[in-house]
Amino acid sequence: MSGKENYNVVTEVFSGPLDLLLHLIESKKMHISDISLSKIADDYINYLDKLEKFSLKSSADFILTASVLMLIKSKSLLPELDLTSEEEQSIEELEDRLKEYQKIKKLSGNIENIFGKRIVFSRQINRRKEIIFSPDENIKKENLLFLIKDVIKQVPKKIISPKAVVDKIISLEEVIENLSQRIQTSLKMSFKEYSGLNSNTSFSREKKVNIVVSFLAMLELVKQGVINVKQDSQFGDIDMDTQKLNTPNYI
């Protein structure tokens, strides 16, 4: 037997790279470590060379593991070789995964011995729970009715807020412009005629606001010298006429 020991595995089919690595390590009766992985790196590569067919996914997994093994072997042959943090992490992850796989394989073997067959663990299907109303057999219809009414009483009542009434805002500037145009067109007009104050019906709040704004508009036009106003009595109607056309006032 030569100094370099080769362990060629060609007859068995392995489920993946971890299965192959574990077989190679256990066949040499070694513990899982970076040293044992470096020693079986050549055997692992030899196994890949002798495989005739490889699925695309399997080949990617086997080749990726082979690259990590080459890192481990390079580190053992060249201790002064500096590896990157990612390469160190890849080596540690391979060792950890192999140890976990060894534990799982031992446990599955024990289960197979107990039940006499291979156990396949599948993902648990989350079945939708169906809620079924199943009251006590001794409960009476009157009791149910009482409970339902009690529950309804405890339901908070919906508070309906009153609708907000938004009054239309009357712009003083708009009323001033409107009154000025009306008087220039009609030449003469009374305040009651313009504001609707001569109506015998009761005034709404909106109508009252309109009368007040109309009065303020009239005063502003008098101030600007746009119109003339005349009132015969204290509470009488106010006559308005335009001043720009220099129409005479007949008093």
Instruction: Judge whether 141 lies within some domain.
Output: no
pLDDT of residue 13: 57
| Whether residues 105 and 181 fall in one domain | no
Instruction: Judge whether 4 lies within some domain.
Output: no
| Whether residues 176 and 96 fall in one domain | no
In angstroms, rounded to a whole number, what is the distance separating the alpha carbons of residues 117 and 210? 97
Phi/psi for 68 (5° steps) reads -70, -40
> CA dist 210 to 95, 136, 185, 200, 215, Å?
91, 71, 21, 16, 9
- Contact between 206 and 168 (Cβ < 8 Å): yes
Instruction: Tell me the per-residue pLDDT of 77-91, one tens digit each, with 9 for 90 and over.
Output: 877 777 788 888 888
State the total domains in the chain. 2
Domain residues for the domain of 32 are: 17-115
| Whether residues 105 and 191 fall in one domain | no
Instruction: Judge whether 160 lies within some domain.
Output: no
- pTM of the entire structure? 0.36
CATH number of 231's domain: 1.10.10.580
pLDDT of residue 19: 80
Complete DSSP assignment for 183-224? HHHHSEEEHHHHHTTT--SPPPHHHHHHHHHHHHHHHHHHHH
What integer is the mean pLDDT of 84-104? 85
Instruction: Judge whether 53 lies within some domain.
Output: yes
Q: Does the pLDDT of residue 98 top 80, yes or no? A: yes
Instruction: Judge whether 47 lies within some domain.
Output: yes
**CA proximity to 189, closest of 248, 237, 251:** 237
pLDDT of residue 15: 64
Among 86, 115, 144, residue at a domain's last position: 115
Instruction: Judge whether 139 lies within some domain.
Output: no
Q: How confident is the model at residue 249 (pLDDT cuts 50, 70, 90)?
A: very low
pLDDT of residue 22: 77
| Whether residues 184 and 106 fall in one domain | no
Instruction: Judge whether 151 lies within some domain.
Output: no
